[in-house]
A = this chain, B = another copy of it.
Amino acid sequence: MRMVEEGVTFPQGFLAAGVEAHIKKKDVDLAVVYSEDPCQAAGVFTTNKVQASCVSYTRRAVEQGPVRALVVNSGNANACTGPQGVEDTIQMARLVAGELGIEPHEVLVASTGVIGVNLPMDRIAGGIKKACSQLSKDGGESASAAIMTTDTVPKQAGAELTIGDCAVRIGAMAKGSGMIHPNMATMLAFITTDAAITRECLQQALRDATAISFNMISVDGDTSTNDMAVIMANGRAGNEIIASPASESYSLFKSALDQVCIALAKMIARDGEGATRLIEVEVAGAKDDGEARTVARSIVSSNLFKAAVYGEDANWGRIICATGYSGADINPDTVDIWLGRQQVARGGGGVPFDEDLAREDLAQEVVKVRLHLNQGTGRATAWGCDLTYDYVRINASYRS
């Protein structure tokens, strides 16, 4: 298996385009992804009780399958927009289906942006027409740019693996930035693959990959109304179909999917609104993996610790504090903590460390925190970013 810097058009049989539909003030803001063959599809969706209409629409389309295309707009989330919003989601699918000669229920729909404003459907329609006419093998990059909101860089990741004699590819794009918090697919991620795989295996692989990637990142603790991660598999690779989670081919596919999702998750965390650093928190020695996840997510979600990282302040007290209020059943007296290259706490108490070295480690592009809880064998890794002036600036005037 090798990782590649490629996106949704990397697997065979997928085309894409990202165009300017003028929903945002500038830049590309509408993407269409199309598969030449019907796809099995799977998805994970926001746990927010308030959900944009595209969320329930796409959930249903994924369940019914097969699907052929995906349309995503940025600049407007089409959430809290009433019956008109529901109608607009369906209309987006109809417009794409009309252009591509497929059925509306074969089109997945996603939106991201401001809440509570109806979509400008004339511009959406123009954008869909344009995107469908520009679909190409090179369109993955423009599609990944078109789904950005306050993201500063497009996010793509891919992998190539061998199953039997067949080369199988996975490609993906994601957007994140604000309103990112571990609670089920807390952003948009669209994954394509030419693997032949059953819907059941695809759903399980995506759900499990999400648990250790997208659900392990936090930017600000806010879970959005529009989050989703979906995967489309068109079978073009010609491998013997992956039909059981117990099979070797499933393991190979799952492990590549894990890596693609983790790569995207880290890009999302690193590109959190205003962020200057990626924080990686590794927890080991927990009672079980679930407890390790709880602790790791609590630390990357702590405003106080995130601000300390921004200030390059080796304030490990905030790490143990977030461990304590995480809800996990930890023993404060057995917590060991490392910050960068040095141990800073042992058995819940501080140990002498070199402050200059710590400041150096905190100034790195990736700030590493490691905890050992000395309670068992559970482990997990979570990713986040520092809290900066720019997070406040960006979010103080998001609508303007």
> Are the CB atoms of A321 and B399 closer together than 8 Å?
no
- Is the C-beta of A221 less than 8 angstroms from some C-beta in chain B? yes
- Is the C-beta of A313 less than 8 angstroms from some C-beta in chain B? yes
With A116-B317, A345-B80, A400-B313 given, is the CB distance from A325 to B220 under 8 Å?
no
> Are the CB atoms of B396 and A222 closer together than 8 Å?
no
Give the Cβ gap from A53 to chain B, nearest Cβ, in Å.
11
- Is the C-beta of A308 less than 8 angstroms from some C-beta in chain B? yes
- Is the C-beta of A73 less than 8 angstroms from some C-beta in chain B? no
> Are the CB atoms of B321 and A224 closer together than 8 Å?
yes
> Are the CB atoms of A313 and B178 closer together than 8 Å?
no
Give the Cβ gap from A92 to chain B, nearest Cβ, in Å.
19
Binary contact track A41-76/B, C-beta < 8 Å → 1, others 0: 000000111110000000000000000000000000
Give the Cβ gap from A307 to chain B, nearest Cβ, in Å.
3
- Is the C-beta of A322 less than 8 angstroms from some C-beta in chain B? yes
- Is the C-beta of A213 less than 8 angstroms from some C-beta in chain B? no
A224 to B303, CA, bound (A): 13
Give the Cβ gap from A298 to chain B, nearest Cβ, in Å.
10
Residues on B with beta carbons closer than 8 Å to the beta carbon of A261: none
Residues on B with beta carbons closer than 8 Å to the beta carbon of A322: 222
User: Contact check: which of B221, B311, B321, B326 meets A225 at CB < 8 Å?
Assistant: B321
> Are the CB atoms of B348 and A82 closer together than 8 Å?
yes
Residues on B with beta carbons closer than 8 Å to the beta carbon of A179: 304, 321
> Are the CB atoms of B221 and A321 closer together than 8 Å?
no
Query: Number of contacting residues on A, CB 8 A?
Result: 68
- Is the C-beta of A320 less than 8 angstroms from some C-beta in chain B? yes
> Are the CB atoms of B388 and A392 closer together than 8 Å?
yes
* Contact residues of A between 286 and 307, Cβ < 8 Å to B: 301-304, 307
User: Contact check: which of B48, B79, B304, B326 meets A220 at CB < 8 Å?
Assistant: B304
Residues on B with beta carbons closer than 8 Å to the beta carbon of A397: 311, 313
User: Contact check: which of B80, B117, B220 meets A348 at CB < 8 Å?
Assistant: B80
Return the chain B residue nearest A82 by Cβ: B349
Residues on B with beta carbons closer than 8 Å to the beta carbon of A393: 389
Binary contact track A190-201/B, C-beta < 8 Å → 1, others 0: 000000000000
Residues on B with beta carbons closer than 8 Å to the beta carbon of A82: 347-349
> Are the CB atoms of A303 and B396 closer together than 8 Å?
no
A300 to B182, CA, bound (A): 19
Give the Cβ gap from A44 to chain B, nearest Cβ, in Å.
15
> Are the CB atoms of A307 and B349 closer together than 8 Å?
no
> Are the CB atoms of B116 and A316 closer together than 8 Å?
yes
> Are the CB atoms of A345 and B116 closer together than 8 Å?
yes
With A115-B320, A321-B115 given, is the CB distance from A395 to B48 under 8 Å?
no
Return the chain B residue nearest A393 by Cβ: B389
- Is the C-beta of A323 less than 8 angstroms from some C-beta in chain B? yes
Known: A80-B320, A223-B324, A311-B400. 7 other contacts (CB 8 A): A48-B325, A80-B317, A115-B315, A115-B320, A116-B350, A308-B395, A313-B396
Query: Can you show 11 pairs from A to B with CB atoms below 8 A apart?
Result: A48-B325, A79-B317, A81-B349, A85-B349, A307-B392, A307-B394, A307-B396, A308-B396, A308-B398, A315-B398, A315-B399
Shortest beta-carbon contacts, A-B, top 6 = A115-B317, A311-B396, A50-B324, A307-B395, A82-B349, A116-B350
